[in-house]
Structure 1
Amino acid sequence: MSVGNGTAGTSPLPLTNSVPVERGDAARNRALLLDAARLLVAERGAEAVTMDDVAAAAGVGKGTLFRRFGSRAGLMLVLLDEDEKIQQQAFMFGPPPFGPGAPPLERLLAYGRERLQFVWDHRALLSDATRDPQTRFNSPATLHRTHVRSLLAAADTSGDLDAQADALVALLDADYVTHRFVDLGRSLREQGDAWESVARKLCGQ
Structure 2
Amino acid sequence: MPFGAPSERSDAARNRERLLHAARELVNECGVDAFTMDMLACRADVGKGTVFRRFGSRAGLMMTLLSDSESEFQRQFIFGPPPLGPGAPPLERLIAFGEARIKFVEEFGELARAASEHSPQNRHDAPPVVLWHRHIEMLLREAGLDRDPWLLALSLGASLDPERVLHSLREHGIPQERLAASWRELVTRLLKDG
Settle same-fold status: TM greater than 0.5.
yes
Q: Which amino acid aligns with 1:177?
A: V
Task: Tell me the residue number matched to 2:130.
Answer: 142
Q: Secondary structure at the match of 2:132?
A: helix
Task: Map residues 10-159 of structure 1 onto 2, 5 A cutoff.
Answer: 21-133=7-119, 136=123, 137-159=125-147
Percent identity between the two aligned chains: 46
Task: Check the 8 A contact 2:105/2:166 in 1, yes or no.
Answer: no
- Report the AA paired with residue 172 of structure 1: L
Which residue, out of 167, 184, 190, partners 1:196?
184
- Dislocated runs of 4+, deviation >3 Å: none
TM-score of the pair, normalised by structure 2: 0.89
Whole-angstrom CA distance in 1 between matches of 2:14 and 2:173:
44
- What is the alpha-carbon distance in structure 2 between the residues aligned to residue 161 and residue 67 of structure 1? 41
**C-alpha separation in 2, matches of 1:144 and 1:104:** 14
What residue is the counterpart of 1:5 in the other structure?
A: none
Q: Deviations over 1:98-152 (max 9, x none)?
A: 1110001110001100110001111210111122327623222221121111111
In structure 1, C-alpha distance between the alignment counterparts of 2:143 and 2:7, rounded to whole Å: 39
Tell me how far apart the structure 1 counterparts of residues 116 and 189 of structure 2 sit (CA, whole Å): 28
> How large is the Cα RMSD of the aligned pairs?
1.8
How far is the alpha carbon of 1:193 from its aligned partner? 1.5
Shift in Å at residue 204 of structure 1? 2.9
Asked if the contact 2:78/2:85 (under 8 Å) is kept, the reply is: yes
Deviation of 1:202 (Å) = 2.5
Structure 1 residue aligned with 2:155: 167
- The TM-score normalised by the length of structure 1 is 0.85
Q: How many residues align?
A: 187
Q: Structure 1 stretches of 5 or more lacking a match?
A: 2-19
1:182 paired with 2:170, answer: yes
Relative contact order, higher structure (CA 8 A, sep 6+):
1
Q: CA deviation at 1:197?
A: 2.0
C-alpha contact 2:26 2:35 (8 A) present in aligned 1: yes
Cα distance in structure 2, aligned partners of 1:183 and 1:84: 24
